[in-house]
Amino acid sequence: MPTMKVLIIGEINQTGINLLKTRANITVEITGAHDEHDLVKLVHDVDGILVRSALITSSIIEAAPSLKVVSRHGVGFNSVDVQALSLRGIPLTIAVGGNAVSVAEHTLYLILALAKQGKRYDTAARHGDFNFRNTPISHEIGTSRLLVIGFGRIGTQVARRASAFGMAIHVYDPYVPDNVINDHGAQIVQNLNDALPQMDIVSVHCPLNEETKHLIGSRELGLMKPNALLINTARGGIVDENALHDALRHGQIAGAGIDVFVIEPTNPSLNLLKLDNVVVSPHCAGVTVESSARTAEIAAQNVLNGLDSKLDESFVVNPEVLQQ
Ligand code: NAD
């Protein structure tokens, strides 16, 4: 059995490292280096790369003559030069399904934090201000209409959980067949603008691309109910941040739960962060103890499957290379 080397770039859960080490013929090297210059020097003898967030550029790919697979720890792959990999016939894999449950649960958390007024009641209780409860400010969500925009891995998990709360689920995803949406007991939304005025909660779960940039802008926010909530755990830029700030400040919508921003880390002076009717988190929706272990294991298995030439297409970003 030929000896092979896998380079892990960035920190991953031990579960993934252990899985790679079950193979006697594989040596594992772990690096914290992220700089292109440093990585070029490290890849000359690697057969597989498992990468967290470092950029994998064409120079790094060129410097790795034995490279057979690149495995992303996560589902996004903007950080990897896919074209350079495809030219060499090298598959790029993603850790599909690793964090969908975590992101879905975080979405429900943001909905509940806003509807239940978590921050304000927490402050009141810490100050012994129990009279604060005399004028109700929180809401039930069980009778809400939820619009899920993007019905993929995460959107479907959000729908399942929201249904359990009793919410009526509406789905806008032009790329998912009607029967898939119907099978989840959800209503199909054909026209986003027609649906927005009816919704109590709108949650975004599509990718960021040319088509979805500012999918939710001032016009769409203007169509929403004044008591509506907007949640974005997908990508910054799908929601127009300036328009959202204006809509929240002028009471066009009631609140927003935001995990993702156009610029990350956020600048503390970002106007959205100054509003009380916003709950934010630092792009951590997909990062839980459980998802970290699961994602590391899936990413490591993808490396092994890549080295064994046994990759399942559904994990591969450039499946055309598998036919070569
Ligand atoms: P997915 O590919 O499984 O699903 C995305 C869905 O969006 C697909 O069904 C697709 O048809 C749909 N879609 C595409 N264009 C659309 C449009 N114009 N309008 C409506 N729907 C459209 O992706 P996923 O794994 O469910 O991820 C969803 C989003 O969550 C992505 O933006 C991803 O980057 C993000 N994400 C965030 C975190 C986090 O920590 N916050 C973690 C993982 C993923």
Pocket of ligand 1 (CB under 6 A): 75-76, 99-100, 103, 149-155, 172-176, 205-208, 211-212, 233-235, 259-260, 283, 285-286
User: How far is ligand 1, taken at its centre, from the CA of residue 32, in Å?
Assistant: 29
Which atom of ligand 1 is least distant from the CA of 204? Answer: 29
49 DSSP β-pair partners: 7, 70
Instruction: Please name the amino acid found at residue 242.
Output: N
**Range 160-168, long-range pairs (CB < 8 A, 24+ positions):** 160/104, 160/184, 161/104, 161/105, 161/107, 161/108, 162/108, 162/111, 165/108, 165/141, 166/141, 166/142, 167/141, 167/142, 167/143, 167/201, 168/144
pTM over 0.95? The answer is no
User: How far is ligand 1, taken at its centre, from the CA of residue 45, in Å?
Assistant: 35
Residue 107 tokens read as 């979405």
Q: How far apart are CA 71 and CA 80, in angstroms?
A: 10
Counting ligand 1 atoms within 8 A of each CB, the residue from 52, 73, 75 with the most, and so the one to mutate, is 75
Residue 188 tokens read as 């199909």
DSSP 201: E
Q: Which residue owns the Cα nearest ligand 1 atom 38?
A: 286
Which atom of ligand 1 is least distant from the CA of 206? Answer: 7
DSSP 210: T
The one-digit pLDDT tens for each residue of the chain (324 residues) are 789 999 999 999 999 999 999 999 999 999 999 999 999 999 999 999 999 999 999 999 999 999 999 999 998 898 999 999 999 999 999 999 899 999 999 999 999 999 999 999 999 999 999 999 999 999 999 999 999 999 999 999 999 999 999 999 999 999 999 999 999 999 999 999 999 999 999 999 999 999 999 999 999 999 999 999 999 999 999 999 999 999 999 999 999 999 999 999 999 999 999 999 999 999 999 999 999 999 999 999 999 999 999 999 999 999 999 987
Active-site residues, by number, are: 235, 264, 283
Q: Angle, nearest 10°, between helix axes 100-115 and 153-165?
A: 40
User: How far is ligand 1, taken at its centre, from the CA of residue 152, in Å?
Assistant: 6
Counting ligand 1 atoms within 8 A of each CB, the residue from 53, 173, 284 with the most, and so the one to mutate, is 173
